[in-house]
Amino acid sequence: MGATTIDTFYLAPPIFLAIAFAFSMLGMGGSQLYIPILMWMGMDFKTEAVPLGMLLNVVNSATATVTYWRRGLIAWGAAIPFAIAMICFAPFGVWLNVRLPVKPLLVFFALFTAAAGVLMISGWKPSRGNMSARGRVVMGLLAGAGLGTIAGMIGRGGGSFAVPLLYMAGLDAQAAAATSALVVTASGVSSLISHIASAAQPNWIVWVSCVVAVFVGSSSGSRFMSTRLKPRSIKLVFGVLLLGVAALILILDVVLA
């Protein structure tokens, strides 16, 4: 890790606290912002930014999951097959991460981030479905395999896409966000273990400081969301922010690098 990270890492905890507060209310981990911020602070994308971003993603989503579980918001029938598939396929994504060049990974990360931003800005909400129990299992296994691979490859939990899918499966808005938090946690744990076993290079001062900040932000955000739905205005702000991050990654880290 370069000196830049040592000099500026103290800026990350308060920034990440705010991100965790907002994203925990959406059933998302926040790695779409953690990872580029860490990378721009000087961390290597593969060995430092992605593993730490995934750790923070896990802390955020796991904290929210506990709150949602206690309040009975998680739809376990939809969550279990989704989570199992994500756990199984996340190591395959890590395997791809280790073997692929950095620039294609950054392009994919940017495009995935931009797609999430468009979803948030558009406010697109699929028609709520009435899927059978068997249909939910099939949907969970297929979607979990794809999102689990992506989680391991670029450190993204996939909550932006899991929530609409769960809504289409028949869950209401709160249950979809709560169930998404659980499946994102499952894929994140699997991805994190795989990254640590392969190429992660942790700096424990940075890791612990950021973990504490994300834990506080996620705890507060999930409690707020469980009693009051997320305002549309914050979704719009974060959607625009995600598009900006995606554009910066493509320009600074792909085209001009």
Write the DSSP string, 49-97. IHHHHHHHHHHHHHHHHHHHHHTT---HHHHHHHHHHHHHHHHHHHHHH
CA pair distance 109, 115, nearest whole angstrom: 10
Tell whether 198 is covered by a domain. yes
Tell whether 4 is covered by a domain. no
Tell whether 74 is covered by a domain. yes
CA pair distance 51, 70, nearest whole angstrom: 29
Token pair belonging to 13: 């905890």
CA pair distance 162, 80, nearest whole angstrom: 13
Per-residue pLDDT of the chain (257 residues; tens, 9 = 90+): 444 444 567 788 888 898 888 777 766 667 778 889 988 888 888 888 888 888 888 887 888 888 889 989 899 988 999 999 999 999 999 899 888 898 999 998 899 888 888 877 876 666 666 778 888 889 889 999 998 898 888 887 777 778 888 888 888 878 888 898 899 898 889 888 888 887 777 778 888 999 999 889 888 877 776 555 555 666 777 778 788 888 988 998 888 76
Tell whether 6 is covered by a domain. no
Cα torsion 53, 56, 62, 67: sign: negative
pLDDT of residue 125: 66
Token pair belonging to 221: 């955000």
pLDDT of residue 198: 78
Q: From residue 217, how far is each of 45, 74, 187, 220, 223 by CA, in Å? A: 24, 20, 21, 5, 10
CA pair distance 159, 92, nearest whole angstrom: 19
Give yes or no for a contact between 4 and 203, defined as CB atoms under 8 angstroms apart.
no
Tell whether 1 is covered by a domain. no
Tell whether 211 is covered by a domain. yes
Structural domain tally of the chain? 1
**pTM of this prediction?**
0.77
Cα torsion 221, 159, 76, 52: sign: negative
pLDDT of residue 226: 52
Token pair belonging to 223: 């409690």
Tell whether 5 is covered by a domain. no
pLDDT of residue 80: 93
Residue range(s) defining the domain that contains residue 233: 11-255
